[in-house]
Amino acid sequence: MKFERKVFALESRLRNCRNVVTLGVRTNFNEYPPEDRDEIRKADIIYYPTTFYADLFNVIGKQTFPSYHTYKCVQDKIKQTALFNLLGIPHPRTRIFYGKRQKQSILQHFKFPFIAKIARGSARGRGVYLIRDRESLDRYSERNTVAYVQDYLPMDRDMRIVVIGRRIVHAYWRIAPDADFRSNVSLGATICLDPVPEAALRLAAHTAQACGWDDVGIDVRQFNGDFYVLEANMKYGREGFRNAGIDYSRLMEDMIERCEI
């Protein structure tokens, strides 16, 4: 059957999908040509609208993919941690410290070594630090108004589990490079396609559904026999898809045609 539904996206993530018209992102809505403005207004759903337009479309009741809830947590570790704790999702013990006075109490709650992160706006492993001593803690504290501090779970690998729509579409291991505690592919980690434990898959699927996220890479680590959600990545890379021989654009085309997303 020929696919006849007109599908529109703003961001370029679906630009290689034959069944999607990508209109581009214009912060000033009136810069869109009149015909594009009409298509946006009439469309039942807009794909990849950006955080800016996801907020606006939510106000007027227009559906988006990814969901409004997905966009609300993009690169915001504080919101993600609050959600995990609220929902009872296993997550490394984490505490947020605001301002100089609160940061002075970090060592009352954590012992070296521990993880410290840039709380908002960081991705691909950048802005993640292994704090081993007082000197490295002081450097981190001086550079960050808000301290996001987390227990360190020492392992040489974790799992990236990608959920699109309501199903897992890909899962793989990420093995950290030598002399680095981070397992981000962008920092040199190796992708391993060995099977991911079913318990980790169930945890990732539950996390995505409970949090209202429909396009997300969930990072899961196994430690002492238990599984923990480290964080969610809404702007995940596609190297894992390429390594597995998965055509990402074709996958998204098919999911759109089957009305899964």
Tens of pLDDT along 65-96? 999 999 999 999 999 999 999 999 999 999 99
Domain annotation for the chain: domains and CATH numbers: 8-65 (no CATH), 93-151 (3.30.1490.20), 157-257 (3.30.470.20)
- Residue 117: the pLDDT is 95
Bridge partners of residue 229, in order along the sequence? 220
CA dist., res. 144 & res. 72, Å (int):
22
CA distance 142 to 140: 6
**Confidence grade of residue 254 (pLDDT, cut at 50, 70, 90):** very high
What's the farthest any 2 CA atoms get from each other in the chain? Answer: 65
Contacts of 88 (CB under 8 A, 6+ apart): none
Residue whose structure tokens are 């899962």? 171
The confidence score (pLDDT) of residue 200 equals 98
Rounded to the nearest integer, the mean pLDDT of the chain is 95
Angle of CA points 123, 7, 32, to nearest 5°: 80
Question: What's the order of all strands across the beta sheet hosting 215-223?
Answer: 190-192, 167-175, 157-164, 215-223, 226-233
Query: What integer pLDDT is reported at residue 3 of this predicted model?
Result: 55
Chain CA centroid to CA 142, Å: 27
User: In whole angstroms, what is the distance from residue 172 CA to residue 194 CA?
Assistant: 7
Looking at residues 44-66, what average pLDDT do you find? 97
Query: Among 219, 28, 195, 56, which residue's Cα sits nearest to residue 125?
Result: 219
Supply the pLDDT for residue 5. Answer: 75
Bridge-based pairing of strands 167-175 and 190-192 is: antiparallel
pTM above 0.85, yes or no: yes
Q: What percentage of the chain carries pLDDT values higher than 70?
A: 97
Is the pLDDT confidence value at 180 over 90? Answer: no
Q: Is 221 helix (H, G, I), strand (E, B) or coil?
A: strand
Q: Hey, what are 163's tokens?
A: 């959920």
The mean per-residue pLDDT over the stretch 182-200 comes to: 92
Q: How far is CA 155 from CA 127, 158, 159, 183, in A?
A: 19, 8, 11, 9
Is the pLDDT assigned to residue 129 strictly greater than 50?
yes
pLDDT of res. 179: 76
Residues 213-239 have a mean pLDDT of 96
Band of pLDDT at residue 1, cut at 50, 70 and 90: very low
pLDDT over 90 at 32, yes or no = yes
Residue 126 has pLDDT above 80, yes or no: no
With cut-offs at 50, 70 and 90, classify the pLDDT of residue 121: confident
Residue 29 has pLDDT above 70, yes or no: yes
**More confident site: 146 or 188:** 146
Could you report the per-residue pLDDT of 133-175, keeping only the tens digit for each?
999 999 999 999 999 999 999 999 999 999 999 999 999 999 9
Return phi, psi of residue 190, to 5°: -100, 135
Which stretches within 104-232 are classed as H helix? 106-109, 134-143, 198-211
